[in-house]
Amino acid sequence: MFKVTCGLSLVAAVISLVSPTPTVAQSRAHDGALFVMTNNADKNEIISYERATNGLLSGGEHYATEGRGSGGTTDPLEAQGSLTLSQDHSILFAANAGSGNISVFSVQHSALILLNKVPSGGSQPVAVAEHQNLVYVLNSGGAGSVVGFTLDFGGQLKQIKDSTMFLTATVTGGASLAFSPDGKFLVVTERLANNIDIFHVLPNGTLSPIIVNPSPAPGAFSVNFAPEGNAIVSETGAAGATNGSAISSYKITTNGKLSPISQSVPTFGSANCWNVVTPDGKFVYVSNAGSATISGFAIGSNGALTPIGGTVVGNNPEGATNLDIAVSADGKYLYTLNSATGNVGVFGIRQDGALINLGTAGDFAKSAGFNGIAAL
């Protein structure tokens, strides 16, 4: 038994089949990139991998954020979005939880150039979201807050006056934030308070007063949006439940309330804290850290979630503790940050949403506090 993520104890891992680790020779035709964050307390870094046309990874260049992470062992940030790409993929944002600032990188294929570093406006930043040069940072420490910035030419972040909005109470476990596709709403999850908070985004970039929606199910953790505007929330489930995780979809009404579409669809895994929607909006995948599995769901035009096949569509190495999850910009490949085994799980995405296990890549310190993954 090990303590992970999401503040819940996890059950025994499911045994999985693993393909060989890809070699550099297999990955010569480069087509994209993958970034993971060390979250090191002394010197936070981004590790960059080149992605081949077949989805395999090579390289492993290190880029300093010039900030400090939180350190720790397994999922110390307990959040999704600590490493975030801008909508046009030209900028990478990194949250330095230990030093309380945000690093901004220019993305040149797999190469990064540090452009800017600014205070997060709060304590322990854990997630960043961007929409058309409006950036909000989630600070999970202290009182818990979201703070707004403009992203100017040259990658400069400038804090917006009067943009700080506090969460419902001190130490509520802010875990993720996301803009709706039309930019009208900012949604924040509070892991410990089990709330899904809605803010209206005002014309000057500030936010309306908080609209609190208690989660109908236990363990609300990460939120993402499908392209048509429905919010998708991962739920870890009740503490101690075997394979008790779930996922829900919601419509956001004009008054900032959540209207359930698909409520608590089982993932048949444990500690589902993270989810990712494919660029075309057809599928959403969740990372079940406690069972080392990936579950997949088709997203209907109305936001309804339907399991793909038997729901569990991918297996990482036994005991991988797969945390954050990312999909390549072309929608062909899925990657998981495997904390306990010190590597990245690599999967191909078929047209029907099923996954093909392509093995693992990378070789970094095991259970060393890594958090954050982003893919081109």
Q: Is the pLDDT of residue 40 over 90?
A: yes
The reported pLDDT for the residue numbered 241 is 85
Closest CA to 288 of 326, 321, 264: 321
User: What 8-state DSSP symbol labels residue 19?
Assistant: P
Looking at CATH, the fold of the domain delimited by 30-375 is given as Methylamine Dehydrogenase; Chain H (2.130.10)
pLDDT, tens only, 45-100: 999 999 999 999 999 999 999 999 999 999 999 999 999 999 999 999 999 999 99
Q: What does the pLDDT average to over 227-237?
A: 97
The reported pLDDT for the residue numbered 24 is 34
The reported pLDDT for the residue numbered 29 is 53
pTM more than 0.75: yes
User: What 8-state DSSP symbol labels residue 76?
Assistant: S
pLDDT, tens only, 238-286: 988 889 999 999 999 999 999 999 999 999 999 999 999 999 999 999 9
DSSP secondary structure of 242-265:
TT--EEEEEEEPTTS-EEEEEEEE
What's the CA gap between 195 and 188, in Å, rounded? 8
The reported pLDDT for the residue numbered 136 is 99
Task: Tell me how long the chain is.
Answer: 376
Q: Is the pLDDT of residue 189 over 80?
A: yes
Q: Is the pLDDT of residue 10 over 80?
A: no
Q: Is the pLDDT of residue 22 over 50?
A: no
The reported pLDDT for the residue numbered 153 is 87
The reported pLDDT for the residue numbered 239 is 85
